[in-house]
Each structure stands twice: as structure tokens, then as C-alpha cells.
Amino acid sequence: MTTTENARPLRVLQLTDPHLMAGSDGTLLGVNTRNSLNAVIAEVLRSHGQPDLILATGDLAQDGSQEAYRFLGERLGAFNCGSAWLAGNHDDAARLYAIAAEYGASQRHIVQGGWQFILLDSSVPGQVYGELAESELSFLAERLEQNPDLPALVTLHHHPVDVGADWMQDIGLRNRDAFWQVIDRFPQVKVVLWGHIHQNLEQQRKGVHLMATPSTCIQFTSGSRNFSVEEQAPGYRWLELQASGSFTTEVRRALDFEFELELNSSGY
Ligand SMILES: [Fe+2]
């Protein structure tokens, strides 16, 4: 006999901030971002195996190039499941979503495994900070109103809370109060997940689990006053979601990936 709680959980992979580039030799602070993504994908397959859904949560390209987005699409072919892509501050959002559609990765509301996934575009052209347009906020509210019984994971690129790093204070989600006003109306929201800060972070807010995830390339030093990178390996987040609304999660890193990070940069 199978009960809901004992049924196989939905396995979700978050890949974030790969900062891919047009050329195969493209590097970010000394790290070849194609090679580091490849190392992370190999680590996923080795440690966790095949996911059921992939969330790619922004800064998919460093240079906004078609080649970068197509490289991502081709590399995700290592997995047997669908993916959904979001834009970050480094992306060319229009180009990203056009290519995402070619790979079936442009859905913004996904119902799978007894959960719903809502993807919000917080990117603002030409800006590092994020903002959710009225249309994104009403999309969020509508989907949650229409699906009150499905536990929800909401994801966006920018951090909607203070993450304890001075230099990141002004580059998060600007209209976070409006975002939380919507979230606070819907108790089925279990998880809010983002990228952008290139580090592992887990917090709680009014019963909602808040999570950020290491980049698949370079990592920012947590709690740093000024821009700072640290020599941690590229990584990913894995979530296992039960239809009851409970879940487990874990961050893993490609520890065998060798790289020489430019530690003294003042930006990226
Ligand atoms: Fe990033």
C-alpha cells in the first residue's frame, strides 16, 4: 500500500547563476563557466541522479548571448526531465525566454508531484537590483488563489530579504514589501527560492522556508561588507518534495572541480 507521505517525492534540481558566455573559453574571475557547469551536472548525476524538474534561476548568461543560452539547453539534455528558466540581472531577458521556449523551458506556473511552482521575473533591464512588475505580482496572486490546495514553491532571481552583506543591500528585490504582502495571504506557500547571491542561505519567515543557492561558477563570501569572492566549489541545490507539503533539501558542490579564482576583484 502506498500512502501520500510514502510515495516517491518529487525531485527538484535548482541550478543558478551559471553566467555562461558565447565562447567555450569564457571565464568569470578566472573560472571557465562552461566547465564549472559541466562539473556541477556531473556531480548531480553522481550524487543524486535524475531529477523530475529543473529550475534555472537566472544569470544564465553573463553576456546575454544566444550561444550561452543554447549551451545551457544542450547541457540540460543530460537530464530526462523538463526545466524552467528565469532571467537575472546579467541576462538578455527577451533572448533568454525566446530560446527557453525552444527547449520547452518557458513555463511560469508548473503543477507537478502535488506541488505548484511559480516563477517570477524580477529582472530590470540595465539594473543590478530586482523589481517585480505589477503583472508579476498579480500573476503570483492569481495562481495562488486558483490553487489553494497545492503546496507552493515560489522562485525568482533576486533576494527578497536582507542577506547580511552590506554590498548586496541595494541589489536585492526593491519592492519586497509588495511581494511579501501577497505571500502572506497564502498559507500554501512553503518555499521561496532564489539565486543572485551566489551562496547557500536558509532562513525562516512566518513558516515559509527561504533559500538561496551557490552558483554553478563563482561564490560570494557570505556576510561580507564589500564585494568578495571565496574559493568554494561550484554547487547546486536538490529538493525532495512530498505531496503533503513537507520536503527535504541539500546543497552539494562539485568538490573535484579545479579552478584558480581571481580573489582580488572588485566586481563581476
Ligand atoms: Fe549571478
Closest-CA residue to 82 (of 102, 99, 105): 105
- CB distance 58 to 15 below 8 Å: no
Any residues with CB less than 8 A from the CB of 204 and at least 6 apart, and which? 210
Q: Give me the percent of the chain exceeding a pLDDT of 90.
A: 94
Q: What are 111's strand-pairing partners?
A: 116
By three-state DSSP, how is residue 68 classified? helix
- CB distance 216 to 15 below 8 Å: yes
pLDDT, tens digit, 9 for 90 and up, residues 35-70 = 999 999 999 999 999 999 999 999 999 999 999 999
How close is the Cα of 141 to the center of ligand 1, in Å?
27
45 DSSP assignment: H
By three-state DSSP, how is residue 252 classified? strand
How close is the Cα of 129 to the center of ligand 1, in Å?
11
How close is the Cα of 197 to the center of ligand 1, in Å?
7
CA distance 10 to 82: 13
pLDDT band at 264 (very low <50, low <70, confident <90, very high): confident
How close is the Cα of 15 to the center of ligand 1, in Å?
11
Whether residue 4 has pLDDT greater than 70:
no
pLDDT value of position 268: 84
pLDDT band at 265 (very low <50, low <70, confident <90, very high): confident
pLDDT, tens digit, 9 for 90 and up, residues 150-177 = 999 999 999 999 999 999 999 999 999 9
Average pLDDT of span 108-118: 98
pLDDT value of position 6: 58
pLDDT value of position 2: 44
Look over the chain and give the mean of its residue pLDDT values, rounded to a whole number. Answer: 96
How close is the Cα of 226 to the center of ligand 1, in Å?
16
Q: What is the phi/psi pair of residue 31, to 5°? A: -100, 125
- CB distance 160 to 173 below 8 Å: yes
